[in-house]
Amino acid sequence: MDPEALSAALLTVIRPLAEARREGSTAELTAADLVLDRPKNRDHGDWSSNAAMKLAKSLGANPREFAAEIAAALADTPGISSVEVAGPGFINIRLDAATAGALARTIVEAGAAFGTNSSQHGNSINLEFVSANPTGPLHIGHTRWAALGDAIARLLQASGATLVREFYVNDAGAQMDRFGASVIAALTGAPTPEGGYGGAYIAELARRVHAKRPDLLDLPTDEQITTARDLAYEFQLGEVQASLANFNVKFDVWFSERVLHAKGEGAGPSLVDEAVERLRAQGHVFDQDGAVWVRTTDFGDDKDRVIRRSNGEYTYFAADAAYYLNKGDRGYAHKIYLLGADHHGYVHRLKALAGAAGDDPEKDIEVLIGQLVSVNGARLSKRAGNIIEMDDLREWLGTDALRYSLARYPADSPLTLDPELLRKRTNDNPVFYVQYAHARTHNVARNADSAGVDRSVFAPELLDHESESALLGALQEFPRLVAFAAEAREPHRIARYLEELAALYHRWYDSCRVTPLGDDAVTDVHRTRLWLNDATGQVLRNGLDLLGVKAPERM
C-alpha cells in the first residue's frame, strides 16, 4: 500500500464520519488534502496523519475524539495491522508486513520507471540555464547552474512534463566585436583593447583562427575583426559545448541571439521589431522623448523600461522581450530562467515583461536565482587567468562529486565546497556514501547468486524485521518525493533522501542476511530479502540518475 492508496483509504473512512457531524463538510475534501508523514520514531508506526486535527475545528469536534473514531474505522482496512491515536490527535498507522513488503517486488518490476509520476503532465516547459557569453570558458558559477538546471530538468521530465533544455547564446552586441578585436590584438602582439578579453585562451583562439585563415591580417581592419570574431566564436562555443557534454549536461536547443536581430524575409522586420509592435498591441508601450518605452511598472517593476532609444537602437530589454515571445511562439507555456547571483534585477523585469506580453507573471514565468559557489584551495585558470574553470574543476574533483555536491544544496544558498572531503573514499563523503551503498547492493546480489539465492520466491510477510520496515518505509517515499522536488525545483531533496536511504540500507545489511551462513540452507527469507536488496539498489540508481550521477556496480 503506497501513500496515495493509504490516503484514499483514509478519505473513505473520514467522509461518512465527517458527514455524520456536519452535512456537506467534506464535499471538497480529496485524498491529496490528507497529508501523510513518516514518523521519525519507527515505534510510532509506518505513517502518521494529522487529518483529525485539521478537520476538527470545522466539524465542531474534539480532535482526539475524532481521531479515535477515524482510527477505529481505519483499523478494518485490509493491509493495515494497527491504528493508534497519539498526542492531541495524531493518527499513527502501521501496515502489516505483507502489505509493506509487497513494495519490493513493485520496485524491481518497475525498474527505471519507479519514481516517475504524472504530477507535471500537460506542462510544456522551456528551461533556460547556464547561457554564458561565448567569449570565454565556463567558470565555477556556470558549473553550479549546469548541475542544478540539468537536475531540475530530469525531475520535471520524470514527473511527466514536456520540457526542452535551452542555452541562450549571447552572440550579438558590442562584446562580440571586442572579442574579435581581442583575438586580433593577440595575433599581432598589440595590447588587449579596452573592455576586451585577455588570457592564454585568447592567444590559443588567435592561433586557431590564423590557422583557419592565414590571410586574416591581409584583410581590411573591419573585416579582420568580424572574421576573427566569427571564427573565434565558433571555436569557443564548441569548447563550451564540449565542457558541458563532459559534465554530462546536454542541451536540446542552442538559441542564438543573432536570430532575434536578423531581418526577416525580404528585409522584413526582425523578431525584435515584431516584439515591440506586439507589446504595443497589448497596450503597454508608449513613446516619450523620442524613445519607445514599456510600462512595466503596471506589473510590479520598479521603473518603466526603454525598449528602443531615441537614436533608434534597441536596448537589451528588447532582445529579452523578443526572446520571451519567441519561447511562447514555439509552444512553451511555462518559461523557467535559472540565472546567476548577479541577475537579481532581472526578476521583476522578466515578470513584468510576461505581464506586458499578456501572460500571467505568477504562472507563466519563473526566475530562479542561484547563489555563488566557491571551492577551498581552487586555483584560478591558467588559460583565463581570473576564473576557476569548469574543466579544471571536473578534472580535479570528478564529474560525479561535483554534480552531486552542487545539487545537494538549495540554489539560493551560498556554497563552499571542500575538495579534500569530495576526494575521500570514505563515508564522510556524501556522494561516495550513496554510491557505495548502490555498489554494495550489487555485491550482495553477486554473493547471493554464488550461494544459490535467487528471486524464485517472494513472500513479503517475511520482511518483518525492524530494519526492513524502516527501509521499506523510505522506499515508499521515493515517487512522492520526486513529484515534490520537481514542483519545488529542489534537487537537493533527492540527494538528502538518497543519503537517508543509504543509511537505512547499511543498517539493514548489518542486521539481515541475504545469503545463509556456512552450510545453512537457503530459505524463502533469503530469497525474499534479495528482492528487497535489489529494490533498494534500483531506487538508489534511479535517484542518482535524477542528479546526473553514475551508480557504480563496484567500488
- Provide the CA 20 distance to its chain's centre, in angstroms: 45
Give CA–CA dist 64/397, Å, rounded: 54
525 and 101 in contact (C-beta within 8 Å)? no
167 and 128 in contact (C-beta within 8 Å)? yes
How large is the average pLDDT for residues 447-454?
97
Statement to judge: residues 356 and 484 lie in one domain: no
332, pLDDT greater than 90? yes
Give 3-state DSSP helix, strand, coil % of the chain, rounded to 5.
55, 15, 35
List the one residue out of 544, 500, 550, 509 whose CA is nearest residue 530: 509
Question: pLDDT tens digits, residue range 473-484?
Answer: 999 999 999 999
2, pLDDT greater than 80? no
Q: What is the 3-state secondary structure (H, E, C) of 309-353?
A: CCCCCECHHHHHHHHHHHHHHCCCCEEEEEECHHHCCHHHHHHHH
What three-state secondary structure class fits 210? helix
The number of distinct structural domains making up the chain is: 4
75, pLDDT greater than 80? yes
Q: Which domain holds residue 182?
A: 174-246
Neighbours of 25 (CB within 10 A): 16
Q: Does residue 434 lie within any of the structural domains?
A: yes
| Per-residue pLDDT, 392 | 94
Give CA–CA dist 323/343, Å, rounded: 17
Q: Does residue 15 lie within any of the structural domains?
A: yes
Cβ-based burial of 81 (10 A; exposed 0-12, middle 13-18, buried ≥19): middle
Statement to judge: residues 307 and 438 lie in one domain: no
Cell of 270: 526582425
434 and 523 in contact (C-beta within 8 Å)? no
Q: Does residue 312 lie within any of the structural domains?
A: yes
Question: pLDDT tens digits, residue range 354-375?
Answer: 999 999 999 999 999 988 899 9
Q: How confident is the model at residue 243 (pLDDT cuts 50, 70, 90)?
A: very high
Statement to judge: residues 50 and 16 lie in one domain: yes
Statement to judge: residues 228 and 341 lie in one domain: no
| Per-residue pLDDT, 388 | 93
How large is the average pLDDT for residues 205-215?
97
Choosing from 220, 246, 272, the residue where a domain stops is 246
Q: How confident is the model at residue 27 (pLDDT cuts 50, 70, 90)?
A: low
303 and 295 in contact (C-beta within 8 Å)? no
The set of residues, in sequence order, having a beta carbon less than 8 Å from that of 105 and lying 6+ positions away, is 458, 460, 531, 535
CA dihedral over 368, 369, 373, 379, signed as positive or negative: positive
Statement to judge: residues 40 and 113 lie in one domain: no
279 and 430 in contact (C-beta within 8 Å)? no
How large is the average pLDDT for residues 91-106?
92
Choosing from 246, 280, 298, the residue where a domain stops is 246
Choosing from 182, 215, 246, the residue where a domain stops is 246
pLDDT, mean over the chain: 93
Place of cell 519545488: 488
* pTM confidence score: 0.91
Q: Does residue 196 lie within any of the structural domains?
A: yes
How large is the average pLDDT for residues 250-262?
97
43, pLDDT greater than 80? no
Phi, psi values for residue 127, rounded to 5°: -110, 110
Statement to judge: residues 271 and 324 lie in one domain: yes
Q: What is the dihedral of CA 453, 456, 458, 464, to 10 degrees?
A: -10
334, pLDDT greater than 70? yes
List the one residue out of 512, 533, 507, 506 whose CA is nearest residue 449: 533
What angle do helix axes 524-546 and 97-110 make, rounded to 10 degrees? 50
- How far are the Cα atoms of 142, 226, 239, 241, 335 from residue 134, in angstroms, in the given order? 12, 15, 9, 10, 23
Q: Does residue 458 lie within any of the structural domains?
A: yes
Statement to judge: residues 168 and 178 lie in one domain: no
289, pLDDT greater than 70? yes
Element (H, E) at 4: helix 3-21
Q: Does residue 43 lie within any of the structural domains?
A: yes
Q: Does residue 393 lie within any of the structural domains?
A: no
Q: At 447, which CATH number?
A: 1.10.730.10
Q: At 304, which CATH number?
A: 3.40.50.620
Place of cell 538559441: 255
Cβ-based burial of 174 (10 A; exposed 0-12, middle 13-18, buried ≥19): exposed
The set of residues, in sequence order, having a beta carbon less than 8 Å from that of 169 and lying 6+ positions away, is 131, 134, 237, 254, 255, 256, 257
What three-state secondary structure class fits 462? helix
| Per-residue pLDDT, 24 | 58
Statement to judge: residues 539 and 454 lie in one domain: yes
Pairing of strands 124-128, 415-417: unpaired
Statement to judge: residues 354 and 480 lie in one domain: no
Statement to judge: residues 443 and 432 lie in one domain: yes
Question: Exposure pattern of 180-203 as b/e (b: 16+ CB <10 Å)?
Answer: bbbbbbbbeeeeebeebbbbebbb
Q: How confident is the model at residue 31 (pLDDT cuts 50, 70, 90)?
A: confident
Statement to judge: residues 167 and 178 lie in one domain: no
| Per-residue pLDDT, 26 | 57
Q: Which amino acid is at 16?
A: P
Pairing of strands 47-49, 90-95: antiparallel
219, pLDDT greater than 80? yes
Phi, psi values for residue 397, rounded to 5°: -105, -20
Statement to judge: residues 135 and 264 lie in one domain: yes
Q: Does residue 350 lie within any of the structural domains?
A: yes
Q: How confident is the model at residue 44 (pLDDT cuts 50, 70, 90)?
A: confident
Q: Which percentage of the chain shows pLDDT scores above 90? A: 82
What three-state secondary structure class fits 421? helix
| Per-residue pLDDT, 25 | 59
Give CA–CA dist 121/124, Å, rounded: 9
401 and 427 in contact (C-beta within 8 Å)? no
Q: Which amino acid is at 534?
A: D
Give CA–CA dist 276/304, Å, rounded: 14
Cell of 69: 473514531
Give CA–CA dist 4/477, Å, rounded: 10
